């Protein structure tokens, strides 16, 4: 590599949004790399750093200038370049001038179409320092910022106001105009510990200098690891184990430049509240880490991370304790009030809450669910009364005080309140499982009743929202239907439920009043679900053609689909798979070309060649052997078995001419191929498999 230097860029800002800090910093790096590549500036590696008040990058071994480029410019044709007297024409002079040379300095370019005047220019590569300002501005302009803001009297827009910019290239401080700020020679330290400037003498010393002189741990991952170990150590000192949610750890990391963790306490009377309420109060509202004992029971402690080595840490601790107290007081108040009210007493009030303008109230939804669960009660082997009760109650907790204060606890509170009201235990569990899976990778309902309720809810939403024309488009999915669809499919497949999607959709559609015209969307919902099924499998690493081979069978039972897909995936690992797939493709082409619509049974008397006699015979045997396997949906064994046909099939194609002169023989051979293909199609259309 040519002459290189390390480059440090630090954009100092007012406090950045913690939930997007990591994304911003890494996008900054990616965009810078993209720009360096576009400008053909090579470097060895790049790293991002971030705190609440800075986005930084270090690019190692960056070329100090672009390489020179050769560029040939073609001028007028030689024949037209000079007039009768041999003087250059105006066009020729113009061309020379535009190249910055005299006419006699132009060269001749000979091609098979004639000779031209030309100029071979050397384009000087630009210095990195000339380009850097535009590169940074472009990268910052491309950051994924949901809402940009302006400040003061400026027209500059960024995620938060920019305070300083430092660009250090080797030992040179570059003078650039970035986001309305002239870059300087200094960084700044921690807001309170070191509010003044810090000088950084080389990009290599950036991290250490900020750490040693300025109370700033600029390395995000180092800070994250430090917080994690501080929190764990404090939990251990208090004979507990910290619950560290990775997202919360990220958020806390993005809220401090100099983490100082400490423990606080709350009144142990609050431990009588549902665990989830306490955890939510600590995590969501206060960004605290909860602490449990070895049995998983909460302890009356929280661990918080301050951004300061306080002159009086006891005050910081007390202040934090003063905040959690009223929050838990509120929670206790809601808990008592909700318990007194009773869950079932909210049923009437569901009539007052709109679910969706055209689709009616929450009461209407609950009413539809009570009908939906009836269809599922039998296949899932659950009591109809239980199912109806669960459907009647599953939306009630939305009206409790606790859920209006802690929306994330919907379902969970339903379970607690149902238990307290003495509802059936299965019903109580189902009220929580109703919402599962809540996100990608979340646990599925474990109880049959929970599965029944969760499926009913998801299909009811899909059908209703599709019926009123609000199906997801592009990146718009305001009702989260993609997630619902994946959740629905996951429950059916991963919980082994023998449910037919078409029936499910049709039943759900029938629960809507006729003016919603829900019947019109049945096919759309079905196709939407099959597309989600494709996404589900492709995300799991299934290859697209494997999926296609099963899709072609048109099974509307996801579980059946799944068994077939697993069988094909296994089949593809066999050595015989490729040649059998090719054979099936060939058969499918031959049958298509034959244009015979009515293919009869194979007539053994018309078989003449040895290879076709053997194949016909083995087909007969296979049909008998496979029938019980297909019956049991043991597609895997069926396909493994069929792999044994490979030799006979290969022999057939090697020795037998299908399209022979004699019509009867030909048609009989087509019939033979057709029954071979049909045998495979009982599992999947393996002619779709690519080699």
- C-beta pairs of 641-647 under 8 Å, 24+ apart in sequence: 642/580, 642/679, 642/680, 642/683, 643/571, 643/574, 643/576, 643/577, 643/580, 644/576, 645/580, 645/615, 645/618, 645/619, 645/676, 646/576, 646/579, 646/580
The residue within the footprint of another protein, chosen from 101, 123, 134, 149 (CB under 8 A), is 149
Are 167 and 7 within 8 A, CB to CB? yes
Minimum gap (Å) between residue 311 Cβ and another protein: 5
Pick the piece of the chain touching another protein (CB under 8 A) from 74-82, 323-331, 588-596, 598-606. Answer: 323-331
Please say which residue, 6 or 320, places its beta carbon nearer to another protein. Answer: 320
- Three-class SS of residue 403? helix
Minimum gap (Å) between residue 209 Cβ and another protein: 22
Say how many residues touch another protein, by CB under 8 A. Answer: 44
The residue within the footprint of another protein, chosen from 34, 65, 163, 572 (CB under 8 A), is 163
Please say which residue, 12 or 450, places its beta carbon nearer to another protein. Answer: 12
Residues 6+ away with beta carbon under 8 Å from 71: 120, 121, 122, 123
Alpha helix ranges (H) inside 495-599: 501-510, 522-539, 544-551, 558-571, 577-594
Minimum gap (Å) between residue 332 Cβ and another protein: 12
Distance between CA atoms of residues 253 and 305, nearest Å: 9
Minimum gap (Å) between residue 516 Cβ and another protein: 17
Distance between CA atoms of residues 241 and 293, nearest Å: 6
The answer to whether 17 contacts another protein (rule: CB under 8 A) is yes
CA atoms within 13 A on the CB side of 269: 7
The residue within the footprint of another protein, chosen from 308, 420, 444, 471 (CB under 8 A), is 308
Minimum gap (Å) between residue 18 Cβ and another protein: 6
Minimum gap (Å) between residue 410 Cβ and another protein: 16
Are 386 and 426 within 8 A, CB to CB? yes
**Binding positions for another protein, 33-92, rule CB under 8 A:** 52
Distance between CA atoms of residues 378 and 362, nearest Å: 26
Minimum gap (Å) between residue 338 Cβ and another protein: 17
Minimum gap (Å) between residue 231 Cβ and another protein: 16
The answer to whether 400 contacts another protein (rule: CB under 8 A) is no
Distance between CA atoms of residues 359 and 267, nearest Å: 45
Order the strands of the 241-242 sheet from edge to edge.
241-242, 289-292, 298-306, 260-265
The residue within the footprint of another protein, chosen from 286, 426, 519, 543 (CB under 8 A), is 286
**Binding positions for another protein, 344-363, rule CB under 8 A:** 352-354, 357
The answer to whether 255 contacts another protein (rule: CB under 8 A) is yes
Please say which residue, 308 or 374, places its beta carbon nearer to another protein. Answer: 308
The answer to whether 378 contacts another protein (rule: CB under 8 A) is no
The residue within the footprint of another protein, chosen from 11, 16, 279, 615 (CB under 8 A), is 16
The residue within the footprint of another protein, chosen from 183, 320, 456, 549 (CB under 8 A), is 320
Closest listed residue to residue 585, CA positions, set 513, 666, 680: 680
Please say which residue, 252 or 689, places its beta carbon nearer to another protein. Answer: 252
Are 663 and 610 within 8 A, CB to CB? no
The answer to whether 19 contacts another protein (rule: CB under 8 A) is yes
Distance between CA atoms of residues 546 and 569, nearest Å: 7
The answer to whether 470 contacts another protein (rule: CB under 8 A) is no
Alpha helix ranges (H) inside 305-360: 313-341
For residue 75, count other CB atoms closer than 10 A to its CB.
Answer: 23
The answer to whether 267 contacts another protein (rule: CB under 8 A) is no
Are 642 and 626 within 8 A, CB to CB? yes
The residue within the footprint of another protein, chosen from 69, 90, 97, 322 (CB under 8 A), is 322
Sign of CA dihedral 121, 125, 130, 132: positive
The answer to whether 440 contacts another protein (rule: CB under 8 A) is no
Eight-state DSSP code of residue 127: B
Pick the piece of the chain touching another protein (CB under 8 A) from 71-79, 90-98, 319-327, 417-425. Answer: 319-327
Minimum gap (Å) between residue 282 Cβ and another protein: 11
Alpha helix ranges (H) inside 243-361: 246-253, 275-280, 313-341
Pick the piece of the chain touching another protein (CB under 8 A) from 151-159, 166-174, 644-652, 678-686. Answer: 151-159
Please say which residue, 151 or 425, places its beta carbon nearer to another protein. Answer: 151
Dihedral through CA 134, CA 137, CA 140, CA 141, nearest 10? -100
Lay out the site mask for another protein across 179-198 (x = CB under 8 A, - = otherwise).
Answer: ------------xx------
Please say which residue, 324 or 559, places its beta carbon nearer to another protein. Answer: 324
Q: Please give the span between the terminal C-alpha atoms of the chain, in angstroms, as a whole number.
A: 42
Residues 6+ away with beta carbon under 8 Å from 156: 150, 162, 179, 180
Please say which residue, 399 or 672, places its beta carbon nearer to another protein. Answer: 399
The answer to whether 340 contacts another protein (rule: CB under 8 A) is no
The answer to whether 93 contacts another protein (rule: CB under 8 A) is no
Pick the piece of the chain touching another protein (CB under 8 A) from 96-104, 230-238, 318-326, 647-655. Answer: 318-326
Please say which residue, 157 or 609, places its beta carbon nearer to another protein. Answer: 157
Eight-state DSSP code of residue 468: T
The residue within the footprint of another protein, chosen from 98, 329, 517, 690 (CB under 8 A), is 329
- C-beta pairs of 609-615 under 8 Å, 24+ apart in sequence: 609/655, 609/656, 610/655, 611/648, 611/651, 611/652, 611/654, 611/655, 611/656, 612/652, 612/656, 612/669, 612/672, 614/648, 614/651, 614/652, 615/645, 615/648, 615/649, 615/651, 615/652, 615/672, 615/676
The residue within the footprint of another protein, chosen from 18, 300, 472, 644 (CB under 8 A), is 18
The answer to whether 153 contacts another protein (rule: CB under 8 A) is yes
The answer to whether 337 contacts another protein (rule: CB under 8 A) is no
The answer to whether 312 contacts another protein (rule: CB under 8 A) is yes
Distance between CA atoms of residues 504 and 379, nearest Å: 12
Contact set with another protein (CB under 8 A) = 14-19, 52, 147, 149-153, 160-161, 163, 191-192, 255, 286, 304, 306-308, 310-312, 315-316, 318-320, 322-326, 329-330, 333, 352-354, 357
């Amino acid at each position: 590599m040519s002459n290189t230097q390390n480059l440090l860029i630090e954009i100092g800002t007012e406090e950045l949004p913690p939930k997007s800090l990591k994304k911003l910093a890494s996008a900054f790096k990616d965009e810078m790399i993209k720009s360096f590549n576009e400008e053909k500036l090579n470097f060895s590696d790049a790293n991002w750093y971030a705190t609440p008040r800075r986005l930084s990058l270090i690019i190692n071994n960056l070329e100090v200038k672009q390489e020179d480029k050769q560029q040939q410019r073609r001028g007028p044709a030689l024949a037209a370049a000079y007039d009768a007297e041999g003087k250059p024409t105006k066009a020729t002079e113009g061309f020379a001038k535009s190249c910055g040379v005299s006419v006699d300095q132009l060269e001749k370019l000979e091609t098979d179409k004639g000779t031209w005047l030309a100029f071979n220019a050397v384009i000087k590569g630009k210095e990195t320092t000339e380009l850097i300002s535009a590169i940074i501005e472009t990268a910052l302009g491309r950051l994924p910022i949901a809402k940009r803001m302006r400040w003061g009297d400026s027209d500059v827009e960024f995620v938060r106001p920019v305070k300083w910019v430092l660009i250090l290239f080797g030992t040179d401080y570059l003078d650039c105009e970035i986001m309305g700020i002239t870059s300087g020679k200094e960084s700044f330290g921690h807001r309170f510990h070191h509010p003044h400037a810090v000088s950084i003498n080389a990009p290599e010393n950036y991290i250490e200098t900020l750490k040693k002189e300025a109370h700033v741990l600029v390395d995000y991952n180092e800070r994250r690891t430090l917080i994690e170990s501080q929190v764990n150590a404090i939990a251990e000192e208090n004979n507990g184990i910290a619950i560290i949610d990775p997202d919360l750890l990220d958020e806390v990391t993005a809220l401090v430049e100099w983490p100082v963790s400490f423990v606080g306490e709350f009144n142990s009377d609050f431990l009588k509240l549902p665990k989830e309420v306490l955890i939510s109060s600590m995590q969501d509202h206060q960004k605290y880490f909860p602490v449990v004992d070895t049995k998983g029971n909460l302890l009356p402690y929280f661990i918080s991370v301050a951004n300061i080595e306080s002159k009086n840490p006891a005050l910081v601790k007390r202040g934090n304790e003063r905040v959690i107290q009223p929050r838990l007081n509120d929670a206790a108040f809601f808990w008592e009030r909700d318990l007194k009210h009773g869950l079932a007493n909210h049923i009437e009030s569901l009539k007052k809450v709109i679910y969706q303008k055209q689709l009616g109230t929450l009461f209407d939804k609950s009413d539809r669910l009570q009908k939906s669960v009836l269809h599922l009660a039998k296949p899932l082997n659950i009591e109809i009364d239980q199912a109806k009760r669960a459907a009647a109650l599953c939306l009630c907790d939305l009206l409790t005080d606790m859920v209006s204060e802690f929306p994330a606890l919907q379902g969970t509170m339903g379970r607690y309140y149902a238990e307290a009201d003495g509802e059936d235990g299965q019903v109580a569990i189902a009220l929580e499982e109703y919402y599962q899976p809540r996100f990608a990778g979340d646990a599925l309902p474990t109880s049959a009743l929970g599965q029944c309720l969760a499926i009913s809810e998801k299909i009811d939403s899909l059908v209703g929202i599709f019926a009123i024309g609000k199906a997801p488009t592009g990146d718009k999915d305001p009702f989260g239907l993609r997630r619902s669809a994946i959740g629905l499919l996951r429950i059916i497949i991963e919980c082994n439920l023998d449910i037919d999607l078409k029936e499910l959709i049709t039943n759900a559609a029938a629960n809507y009043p006729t003016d919603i015209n829900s019947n019109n969307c049945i096919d759309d919902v079905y196709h939407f679900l099959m597309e989600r099924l494709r996404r589900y499998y492709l995300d799991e690493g299934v290859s697209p053609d494997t999926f296609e081979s099963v899709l072609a069978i048109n099974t509307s039972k996801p579980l059946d689909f799944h068994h077939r897909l697993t069988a094909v995936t296994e089949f593809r690992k066999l050595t015989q798979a490729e040649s059998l797939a090719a054979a099936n493709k060939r058969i499918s082409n031959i049958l298509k070309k034959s244009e015979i619509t009515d293919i009869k049974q194979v007539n053994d008397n018309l078989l003449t060649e040895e290879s076709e006699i053997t194949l016909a015979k083995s087909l007969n045997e296979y049909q008998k052997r496979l029938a019980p396997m297909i019956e049991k949906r043991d597609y895997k064994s069926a396909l493994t078995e069929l792999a044994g046909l490979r030799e006979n099939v290969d022999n057939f194609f090697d020795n037998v001419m299908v399209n022979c002169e004699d019509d009867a023989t030909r048609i009989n051979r087509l019939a033979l191929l057709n029954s071979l293909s049909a045998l495979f199609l009982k599992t999947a259309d393996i002619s779709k498999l690519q080699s």
